[in-house]
Chain A
Amino acid sequence: MPYKIIEKRELGNSGQVFEMVIETPLIAKKAHGGNFILLRINETGERFPLTIADYDREKGTITIVVQVVGKSTKLLSHQEVGDAILDIVGPLGNQIHIEKYEHPVVIIGGGIGIAPCYPQAKELKEAGNKIIAIIGARNKELLFWREKMRSVSDEFIICTDDGSEGIKGVVTEPLKELIKREKTSVVIAIGPLIMMKYVALTTNGSGNLPKVKTYVSLNTIMIDGTGMCGGCRFSTVDGEIYFACVDGPDVDGHIVDFDNLLKRANRFLDQEKESVECYDRECRALERYESEGT
């Protein structure tokens, strides 16, 4: 069954982030915030996870947002409307826990992590929660979905590292103010590992700040997404082993051993580089062929 790309658009101005709407009727029917899919673009492709950024049960589509970081994401970004992805499986992982919390919920999206925040904010908002959303990136070129996020939040904060839009600074700065300002039920943080690490450190009750239950979303290396390979495992500060795919992807940020996870993320650094180089060489060869051919 081919998984056809229905829509594609660039997000922000970096040329690195794309939104794609893909025809996946079965997955769309079951998808929730927190769920992810595994993709294999073509016969030689690897299986890699992407979090579901939106879904439309009626149209039978899901939305994914991809940032070019390695070979597979680059290859995916080169797919156009009408092309099909060879394999998509999902929805995987646990959907977020939805309840009407007593106090506001703070949802933080960093960079590409803004996208998966959207369905979580939407579902929590629909459950009657007060949503405070913070989205952040290195600069304004990398920001996207401002209106979409605003539409599901009661309070909406933008920050950039370089101050090119919103508050100058990292997402933990407004977070500190918020949890100092009012009692917060839950913090949800999705973004780069380093961001999630500092969010968790901000909310763990240290310093003069109150402790707030914090979920982070782990997007680790995985193959099957069903608990089979164990490649996605992470250890807790107590030395316990969990699997991001079946125990997550949203997990208690306070138990995650981020330092270990940061190192595990580099597992295939050399191979990823090699893979991208090979792909770029192929792309250049193809371009040359096409330009010489015409």
Chain B
Amino acid sequence: METQPALINLLIKNKEKILSAGKYNETEFSDLINSLSQAESERNLILKKIEELGTLNIETLRKELSLSEKTLLYNIEYLKACGSLEFIGETPRFFQETIDTFKKNEIFPNALIIREKKLCCGCGLCVSVCPVDAIRYSKGTFEIDDDVCIDCGLCYACCPRTFFPIEMKRSQENVSNIKFLEQLNYFQEICTAQTTDENIKKVAQDGGVVTTLLKMAFQQNLIDGALAVGLGDNPLEPRSLLIENEEDLLKTAGTKYTNSPMLQILHDYRNYKRLAVVGTPCIMEALKKLTFYPKNKPFYNNIVLKIGLFCMESFDYESIIGLLKNEFHQSPEDIRKMNIDKGKLIIYDKTGSIFDVPIKRIKKYGRFGCFFCDDLTSEQADISVGSIGSELSWSTVIIRTERGAQFFQKAIKSHLLIKNKIEEDSKSFQSLSSIAKSKLKKYKTLHRPIMIEQEPSIRSTNFEEVPKGLTEDLVKIEAQRCLQCGNPQCVIGCPVNIRIPDFIKLLREARFIDAIHEIKTYNLLPAICGRVCPQEIQCEKHCLLNDLGEPIAIGYLERFIADWERKNKLKECPDCKPPNGIKVAVIGSGPSGLTCAGTLAMEGYDVTIFEAFHAGGGVLSYGIPEFRLPKEIVKEEIETLKMLNVKIQYNAIIGKTLDFEDLKEMGFKAFFIGVGAGLPMFIKVKGLDLNGVLTSNEFLTRSNLMKAYKFPDYDTPINIGKIVTVIGGGNVALDSSRTALRLGAERVIIVYRRSEVEMPARKAEYHHAKEEGIEFKFLTNPVRFLGDENADVRFMEVIKMELGEPDESGRRRPIPIQGSEYVIETDTIIVAIGTRANPILTKSIPELKLNKWGYIEINENGQTNIEGVFAGGDIVTGSATVISAMGAGKKAAKAMDEYLKKSYLQS
């Protein structure tokens, strides 16, 4: 005899608790057990067969086990979801955590993971299926009472957002006139319809079709009740309710796009013989899932009509209140009706006024769960109704199933509804179809593409770029993965707030010129950012796909489109306002200065950048090596600025060549200081004055800006010997070490006082460095440098460290281990332990307020204590990232624009 499955055991063990919760009576409980046992034995059978065959072949299984295809499909999906089919290479779609739990307990975990992964669609089905009534729904999602929960995992298994065989979503009835479109799924007919009932017209959305269908169903005694959403206690607050007669119907009419977990009350009405359900696509999906899980259930078989609504996304009650407040300055009490039409959300207030905002603007209020949904038209319903594609006061109706057709025909015959045909080539049909298409999600894979890189052994001998970029084909596939969220978190993660989903959508449509234009409106340096931004802690960190698999490779896409533009010799230039003749000085041409200059130029200002070096880009030119950021790219991006009429004056050190007063005399009205943090820090050890000891600044400037790697073709020399030791654990240390390797060092060692975990360098760069053979000595700190009679460095004496208590940076403080000193032979020592503020400029403006480290103090707008003088980037924050400096430049530019408008343009 087979052993009892774990789930059945668990339920039986908790029988008393379940019965006292009141959801199941004795009979229903044993029905549930039976149905679950039956499903269990079916799955065992299938699993055994697959093991026997060693492969997954639906056709063979169907023949050999004489099971229906439907039964096979959902059981296989279930087996995949619990990780049981990994042995034949079937990787499950969902989460490893779930599989780990299942492997341990043979029971799914509860549905909290769906909430954590922001997948919850808010249908409320979990509340209904919980046998011990442990789940409550509130504020847009559900809570599970740990004390009551028996960990049966039924909520997880029933959730429409867990396993759901794609084939089941695409199942069809055998009807002769059935049609199929990817974006609309199967349907028999699409038409528009309108109620003839004047009372309904007054309150209902659009054509009042849903209310009228239900009215007819009650009149003709086709249903006993209808589950729908009506108004709750507060204005606009949704409430799931059961309508039992025609009179109650008007309560539901004109609901307001608020998400309602209506299925949470489904079990209350299991005794109703014939139930209609009206709901959004997610509700329809949940009902569909109920048809195959739990299998042969003794209840929930009473739903005779599923009326689906069109839905772009729904809003939590709290969000809709926020939406009304922020976008319309209205409170819910004042709203009579809301409608979405022609790309706009329209509200009708009680005084009869009408307001609208573009849907684009309200998308951010949508539920996260909605962003994973690709169903606009309630594809799992019997009949779907919505406003998209129809005239005012009409509704678009998609008749999908035989049952849907029957109900609709009856309403037409009894003259409750009138209908109009929609031709497939009509404008209405096209608009419905294209909006539905825009909601399709095409993430076939949860993995991001891998960029081809130069082989470590080859690249360590040249200065060419390591990653080679994505191909156009891979870019198009990757762009398809983007969920096009209404509330894109990536944009929030981006310091310059590029509208990432918008440019990805353009890539998806292969509208490359538009895509680069879109990016450049927000970021004039995409080729640079695509390469050196730490996307993993910015935009990509916030991508919703992180929760499912891997985030969209935003950086790769940005890099691709910028490179595409360059390769095609195009120069997309963002739109600029007409020149206003106001002169603005930007001091420093690093990332913050370039961004500030570009932003102001777009606003019409006459911008001049003053740069101390003979080349622009600041750290992009002197600091970041060629193999990470080719200097040609920096040049090209600066060219874009010149197209915006930004002037650059090289060899101009403000505080030396020109001073602040000179600039004022030259007519500059506002100033941005973005001079970076250029001074090197030294460690206090003996031997710093030996030859062969140099700062990373000197080393990298020689190699990058002065091209010493091309010596003697370029005159600037560099000599590093055979063994190079680099001190530090940041990106600069890695850049220095990899540059040394490329300059011909036989051995390059990085000495870092903390451990691998605390390294501030980007993980990808660390990985690259390791691949190239850079040696890492973690928890090691220099004690002194020893040289020979020519004052050439020969050895570095180091001491081993251990980690103590966390310090002010939150990282564990490294403490020397007494007596652990030893020496490393070395020909060159590069000190890469950070930089600090350069006082040349700040000293020349004595009234400028600095903090104790010499960095400039600014307010939240980037303004210093001097009127008209703004600052940003490393000279404010100390060493940080390229993009954060760009963000600061942009922010300051906006404040400067406001300041200048107020001071010079308004009069």
Contact = CB atoms under 8 A, between A and B. Distances in A.
Contacts of B691: 263-264, 266-267
Given A26-B652, A278-B712, A264 B791 contact: yes
Interface stretch (A140-148, A153-161, A222-230): A222-230
Contact of A275 (B651, B682, B689, B712): B712
A244 to B, nearest CB: 12
A79 interface: no
B706 interface: yes
Interface in A92-120: 92
B698 interface: yes
A216 B612 CA distance: 27
Contacts of A71: 715
A26 B706 contact: no
A241 interface: yes
B57 interface: no
Nearest to B676: A228
Interface stretch (A11-19, A83-91, A162-170, A196-204): A83-91
Contacts of B698: 223, 229-231
A45 interface: yes
A275 B679 CA distance: 29
A91 B719 contact: no
A119 to B, nearest CB: 17
Given A44-B713, A227-B840, A268-B719, A87 B651 contact: yes
A233 interface: yes
Interface in A258-286: 260, 263-264, 266-268, 270-272, 274-275, 278
Interface of A: prevailing SS: mixed
Given A272-B717, A275-B712, A228 B689 contact: no
Contacts of A87: 614, 650-651
Interface string A190-209: 00000000000000000000
Interface in B667-690: 678-680, 682, 686, 688-689
Contacts of B840: 226-227, 246
Contact of A226 (B650, B678, B694, B719): B678
Contact of B651 (A1, A72, A229, A278): A1
B714 A44 contact: yes
A234 interface: yes
A32 to B, nearest CB: 11
B894 to A, nearest CB: 30
Contacts of B697: 228-230
B657 A89 contact: yes
Q: Give the contact-size bracket for chain B.
A: 35 or more
B838 A226 contact: yes
Nearest to A230: B695
B65 to A, nearest CB: 75
B693 to A, nearest CB: 9
B714 to A, nearest CB: 5
A278 B840 CA distance: 37
Contacts of B653: 89, 92, 226
A263 B791 contact: yes
B117 to A, nearest CB: 47
Contacts of B716: 46-47, 223
Given A44-B713, A87-B614, A235 B688 contact: yes
B428 interface: no
B688 A90 contact: no
A193 to B, nearest CB: 14
Nearest to A48: B715
B658 interface: yes
B609 to A, nearest CB: 14
B361 interface: no
B644 to A, nearest CB: 21
A86 B651 CA distance: 10
A10 interface: no
Contact of B689 (A89, A90, A226, A234): A234
B790 interface: yes
Contact of A229 (B701, B707, B712, B791): B701
A185 B364 CA distance: 75
A282 to B, nearest CB: 10
A56 interface: no
A147 B714 CA distance: 39
Nearest to B682: A241
Given A45-B715, A228-B680, A230-B694, A241 B701 contact: no
B656 interface: yes
B613 interface: yes
A293 interface: no
Contacts of A246: 840
B657 A90 contact: yes
B702 A223 contact: yes
A250 to B, nearest CB: 16
A45 B714 CA distance: 6
Nearest to A72: B715
A267 B827 CA distance: 12
B711 interface: yes
Contacts of B678: 224, 226-228
Interface in B615-667: 649-653, 656-658
Tell which of B652, B653, B715 has the most Cβ of chain A within 10 Å. Answer: B715
A132 interface: no
A228 B688 contact: no
B656 A30 contact: yes
Interface string B718-732: 110000000000000
B612 A89 contact: yes
A40 interface: yes
A40 B705 CA distance: 12
A231 B679 CA distance: 12
A11 to B, nearest CB: 24
B701 A224 contact: yes
A161 to B, nearest CB: 26
Nearest to A272: B717
A27 interface: yes
Given A228-B701, A268-B719, A275-B717, A26 B695 contact: no
A3 to B, nearest CB: 9
A260 B791 contact: yes
Contacts of B651: 1, 87-89
B369 to A, nearest CB: 51
B736 to A, nearest CB: 13
A2 to B, nearest CB: 11
A239 B689 CA distance: 9
Contact of A40 (B614, B649, B710): B614
Contact of B686 (A45, A90, A239): A239
Interface centre among A223, A231, A270 (most CB of B within 10 A): A223
Contacts of A45: 714-715
A89 B614 contact: yes
Nearest to A222: B698
A92 B688 CA distance: 24
A95 to B, nearest CB: 11
A223 B621 CA distance: 14
A17 B838 CA distance: 35
A229 B706 CA distance: 12
Nearest to A45: B715
Contacts of A86: 614
19 contacts: A44-B707, A44-B714, A46-B706, A46-B717, A91-B656, A223-B701, A226-B653, A226-B838, A228-B701, A228-B838, A230-B695, A231-B694, A231-B698, A257-B689, A260-B689, A266-B691, A267-B691, A268-B717, A275-B715
In the A-B complex, list the 4 residue pairs whose CB atoms are closest, starting with the nearest.
A271-B717, A263-B791, A229-B698, A89-B651
Interface of A: 1, 26-27, 30, 40, 44-47, 71-72, 86-92, 223-224, 226-231, 233-235, 239, 241, 246, 257, 260, 263-264, 266-268, 270-272, 274-275, 278
Given A263-B790, A275-B717, 17 more contacts: A72-B715, A86-B614, A87-B650, A227-B840, A228-B838, A230-B695, A234-B689, A239-B686, A263-B791, A264-B691, A267-B691, A268-B717, A268-B719, A271-B711, A272-B717, A274-B712, A278-B712
